[in-house]
């Protein structure tokens, strides 16, 4: 994932945060906390997973397929920008 | 989450497995593995999260709202069974 | 879907609106409009579908499983309210 | 959506099928059919919507960003193929 050299640190920080959220769920299950609490924690993790996914896919498009800000081909640049926008909506 | 006393161990095992999967993603990012590899790992975690969510919600319905197998009210029992089926489909 | 007698009109109006949105997508495809336009229309329909689903499931819970505002059993009422909240989050 | 000239007919047929499914939901609501029936119909429409979305995005990638089968740049071709695979998984 060579293109990640730049954003690598940021992505790894995100994955670690997710791990921390899972540990909180584990503790909540251990402590037999109310369902509502656990289900809300799980919903947060799902949201965070979607955010991570969207960022990974955007990085992939920008670094390996077409970077809208740098592509010499203006049509492909526009199409890649549209693709990134659509991905964000669908992975929200 | 008192009803979890029974399934608690199973759920905690699931959360730990998820944590293991996130650690694998962290290592893959550290090692700068190809995007395709990381994106597939993330897809697996999403699937596992959905499975965990579906199980937590089913447990919640069965233990706090209505258990289709034990509810004295046959109409509510049927409606709860339908609800569980629908939840499984939507969270797949 | 007897409980729908009340909200039936509202739900049917929602389904018809969805049909109208699909007709707009059909026209956009016929007119060979830009991908970005069509993909945004599809994203709207998906959002509207999720809204309809959440409403149908909430109606189902309230009318056939437990209505948090009317259930004599306070624990079940609370659990049903939590379930409705969680469903809304997951189907957003 | 010029690239659709080829697949246009197929996509429009898909949208029309979706419209037919919505009409069936409308009839089911009118006839006050059981919730379980309606919720299953809605689940089918959601699945069909996701399929349509995945196809539109794949078409967009192939025709406007990079077609893995025709791109002269082998790295971009591979990255686009990975992207299409990932999209299919996430939109399932």
Instruction: For D4-18, write each residue's pLDDT tens digit.
Output: 456 888 999 999 999
ipTM: 0.83
Please tell me the number of Cα atoms within 13 Å of B11 on its side-chain side: 31
C39 touches chain A (CB under 8 A): yes
H-helix or E-strand containing D34? Answer: none
**Does D57 touch chain A if contact means CB atoms closer than 8 Å?**
yes
Tell me how close the Cα of B62 comes to any Cα of chain A, in angstroms. 12
Q: For residue B5, what pLDDT band results from cuts at 50, 70 and 90?
A: low
Does residue A33 sit at the C interface (CB-CB below 8 Å)?
no
- B4-91: what CATH class? mainly alpha
Cα(B85)–Cα(B80) distance, integer angstroms = 9
Whether B66 and C76 have beta carbons less than 8 Å apart is answered as: yes
Q: A60 in contact with D at a CB cutoff of 8 Å?
A: yes
Q: Does B91 touch chain C (CB under 8 A)?
A: yes
Contact B32 A2 (CB under 8 A): yes
- Provide the terminal-to-terminal Cα distance of chain A, rounded to the nearest Å: 23
Pick the CATH number of C4-90 from 3.40.50.970, 1.20.58.1000, 3.40.50.720, 3.50.50.60: 1.20.58.1000
Residue B19 CA to its chain's centroid (Å): 14
Side-chain half-sphere exposure of D52, counting CA atoms within 13 A:
31
C86 interaction partners in chain A (CB closer than 8 Å): 36, 39-40, 43
Mark yes or no for CB contact A90/D90 under 8 Å: yes
Smallest CA–CA separation between B86 and chain D, in Å? 7
| Beta-carbon separation of B56 and A42 below 8 A | yes
User: What residue of B is the nearest CA neighbor of A2?
Assistant: B32
The percent of chain A in helix, strand and coil, each rounded to the nearest 5, is 85, 0, 15
| pLDDT tier at C25, thresholds 50, 70, 90 | very high
Q: Which two tokens stand for residue B44?
A: 């697996």
B66 conformational bin, left if phi > 0, alpha if psi -120 to 50, beta if neither: beta
For D31-83, how does the pLDDT look when each residue is reduced to its tens digit (9 = 90+)?
989 888 898 899 889 889 988 999 999 999 999 999 999 999 999 999 999 99
- Angular region, D32: left φ>0, alpha ψ -120 to 50, beta rest: left
Per domain, the residue ranges of chain D are 4-90
Longest dimension (CA), chain D: 57
- pLDDT tens string, chain A, 92 residues long: the values are 445 456 888 999 999 999 999 999 999 999 989 888 898 899 889 889 988 999 999 999 999 999 999 999 999 999 999 999 988 888 87
D57, D91 in Cβ contact below 8 A?
Answer: yes
8 Å CB contact between B82 and D36: yes
- Give the Cα separation of A14 and A48 in Å (integer): 8
Interface membership of A65 toward D (CB under 8 Å): yes
Cβ within 8 Å, pair B90-D35 = no
User: Read out DSSP for B28-84?
Assistant: HHHTT--HHHHHHHHHHHHHHHHHHHHHHHHHHIIIII--TTT-S-HHHHHHHHHHH
């Amino acid at each position: 994932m060579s293109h990640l050299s730049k954003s690598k640190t940021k992505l790894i920080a995100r994955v670690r945060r997710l791990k921390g959220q899972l540990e909180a769920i584990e503790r909540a299950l251990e402590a037999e906390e109310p369902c509502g609490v656990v289900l809300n924690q799980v919903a947060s993790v799902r949201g965070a997973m979607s955010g991570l996914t969207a960022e990974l896919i955007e990085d992939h498009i920008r670094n390996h397929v077409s970077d809208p800000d740098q592509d010499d081909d203006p049509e492909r640049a526009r199409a890649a920008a549209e693709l990134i926008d659509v991905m964000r909506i669908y992975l929200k």
